[in-house]
Amino acid sequence: MRPDRIGGGAEAEVREAEYLGRRAVCKVRLPKRYRHPDLDARIRQSRTRAEARLIREARRAGARTPVIYDIDVAGCAITMERVEGRLVKDVLDSGGDDEALCASIGRAIAMIHDAGICHGDLTTSNMILEEGGRVCLIDFSMGRTSADAEDMGVDLRLLERAFSSAHPGLERSYAALMDAYRRRKRNPEEILRKVEEIKGRGRYT
């Protein structure tokens, strides 16, 4: 493993970097050998472009996301601000101040949803709690713009499942998250109905 590697899963590697003297990270999408090389490059390039665009659009919608410094489409790499803080997952695991934290998560999600953006992979490992108490959303690689109520419902359902599996015992915090979401989101009822519908489907299929 590279010594500067700080994260990443099956698709990408995240490395420490520097950009014009600023602390940065570089997220690089790695080649997949099982795909034809030309097709593979096209897929990785278009995902790189899409992720950078979503990170920017989510910021424009008012959510805190990393500042994008540079996009190297050919190299499938995004250089962005290194957000200082702790993963929300680690904060919740160590019993941090969870209700206030969860309320800010709910507001951030409401802001991106109101802008028609779904995140696509809302887990507490894709959120960083900054020193000042702000929550920064990262990892928009599964997200999309022009999201509909179904996409947003899936976002919330996945997050609820992530909470119940990774953070059992934090039901009150999750309720605080949803309460903040409901207060901030325009027409939240439509999305909340979707969440219930999706849950019902899961039960019977």
Ligand X SMILES: Nc1ncnc2c1ncn2[C@@H]1O[C@H](COP(=O)(O)OP(=O)(O)OP(=O)(O)O)[C@@H](O)[C@H]1O
List residues with catalytic annotation: 121
13 binds Mg ion (CB under 5 A): no
What residues between 158 and 177 interact with ligand X by CB under 6 A?
A: none
DSSP state of 112: H
Site string for ligand X, 58-77 (x = CB under 6 A): --------x-----------
155 binds ligand X (CB under 6 A): no
139 binds Mg ion (CB under 5 A): yes
65 binds Mg ion (CB under 5 A): no
Annotate 132-182 with three-state secondary structure.
CCCEEECCCCCCECCCCHHHHHHHHHHHHHHHHHHCCCCHHHHHHHHHHHH
Q: How far apart are CA 61 and CA 55, in angstroms?
A: 10
Burial of 5 (0-12, 13-18, 19+ CB in 10 A): exposed
153 binds ligand X (CB under 6 A): no
Q: How far is CA 158 from CA 24, 30, 123, 125, in A?
A: 29, 26, 8, 13
| Binding at 27: pick from Mg ion, ligand X, none (beta carbon under 5-8 Å per type) | ligand X
Q: Of the candidates 87, 115, 166, 198, which one interacts with ligand X according to CB under 6 A?
A: 87
Where along the sequence are the contacts to ligand X (CB under 6 A)? 6-12, 14, 25, 27, 66, 80-83, 87, 125-126, 138-139, 141
Where along the sequence are the contacts to Mg ion (CB under 5 A)? 126, 139
